[in-house]
Amino acid sequence: MLTGRRILLGVSGGVAAFKAAYLARRLVERGAEVRAIMTRSAREFIGAQTLAAITGSPPSEDLFGADSVSPHTDLAGWSDLLVIAPATAATMARLANGLSDDLLSATALAFVGPVVVAPAMHTEMWEQPATQRNLALLKADGVHTVGPVSGALAGGDEGPGRMSEPEEIVDAIEIVLGGGALSGTRVLVSAGGTREPIDPVRYLGNRSSGKMGTAVAEEAAARGAEVTLVTTAELPVSDAVAVVVVETADEMADAVWNRTGEVDVAVLAAAVADFKPQDAAGSKLRRASGPPDVKLVPTPDILAGVASQDDRPFLVGFAAEAGPAEQAVGKAAAKGVDFLVANDVTLPDAGFGTDTNRVTIIRPTGDTDEWPVMSKRQVAARLWDLIQGERASS
């Protein structure tokens, strides 16, 4: 989807600079023409020849001494989009305050198109008020940000500040540039496990991490869809996804039902509790009072509620089973979905919280199609391929 697009890749000086090579490769693979700018600090982490070999042209490094009399304006005028990855705290400060003391910051100041920034730094630097102020300024100026995420950092540390993976950055670039296969399509996705309060401290819930639903939302956005994610999970998502945070099944039902009349596709991947306490205690239940008598009542059937709506959207449901996915065959017809995605959460590669999934597609007719183990993002991509094909043929 980036065929013919001209992408300018800015690389600043952080240990995550090695990922810039992978990012350049992914951009080239998707058809983009890529040029690179390296800061002086970036040269301490990655060689110019590496980027030259991947992009087909040597990276620009300095404001002075180049063949061009005005390299920053030439590069700015050539580009359709500027992506800076990694963007260090210092680089973000330069961008936010309009400084132009090196080639990258001068080019950014001269550039009038979309800018995507992928921050990368230690947790302490990321959480500093100064960095957060600069981030707010950049966003107010219309800069698109990707990440950072939590994970391993330089020096053996771990925490928020790790640069997003190149694939996620490419997806964000495609969203910003638009024109994807789902452009103009309105999508609603639900994710995460609901929490049903027993008292102000305790709740009934499940182990759903929300990773699968979030991957579905991100993949739809990467394909150009207008996406709303109704979720209980606190997972990072791109700026292109509108997030509605809920906690209980009732809250999720309200959020979903109030929006499904305005969307073209609904993918309900949340693990919604089937039951909730009839009367949640207003104060903390005490051990000294003995085991409480908790009466359970059904929660709203969100999937069935969408299916029963007049002129409902194309509808995909998820079914988490504790056993073979074939146990969900009857649900596909009973729920009134276009198809159901079932998985056995007792499997080590398909359970709650895993990064992979093993799903079975179940049609209302009872026909099934078992998919191999894939990453959840790969499952999401294949799922959207299927949805697009089904909608095109209907």
Burial 180-210, CB ≥16 within 10 A → b, else e: bebeebbbbbbbbbbbbbbbeebbbbbebbb
Do 227 and 290 lie in one domain? The reply is: yes
Do 72 and 168 lie in one domain? The reply is: yes
Here the CATH number for the domain that contains residue 312 is: 3.40.50.10300
Distance of CA 169 to the CA centre of its chain: 10
Predicted confidence (pLDDT) per residue in 66-121, tens digit: 777 788 888 888 888 999 999 999 999 999 999 998 999 999 999 988 999 999 99
CA–CA dist 145, 266 (Å, integer): 26
Domain count, the chain: 2
Domain's final residue, options 177, 206, 226: 177
pLDDT band at 298 (very low <50, low <70, confident <90, very high): very high
Q: Which two structure tokens, joined as six digits, stand for 383?
A: 């799922």
Domain's final residue, options 157, 177, 197: 177
pLDDT given at position 113: 87
The answer to whether position 1 is within a domain reads no
The answer to whether position 125 is within a domain reads yes
The answer to whether position 228 is within a domain reads yes
Alpha helices in 12-88 (DSSP H): 18-29, 48-55, 71-78
CA–CA dist 152, 142 (Å, integer): 29
Name the average pLDDT for the chain.
Answer: 90
Do 26 and 171 lie in one domain? The reply is: yes
The answer to whether position 248 is within a domain reads yes
Do 113 and 198 lie in one domain? The reply is: no
Domain that holds residue 326: 186-393
Domain's final residue, options 128, 143, 177: 177
Here the CATH number for the domain that contains residue 140 is: 3.40.50.1950
Catalytic sites, residue numbers:
206
pLDDT band at 316 (very low <50, low <70, confident <90, very high): very high
Predicted confidence (pLDDT) per residue in 171-220, tens digit: 888 888 876 678 889 999 999 999 999 999 999 998 899 999 999 998 89
Greatest mean pLDDT range, 139-143, 264-268, 272-276, 379-383: 264-268
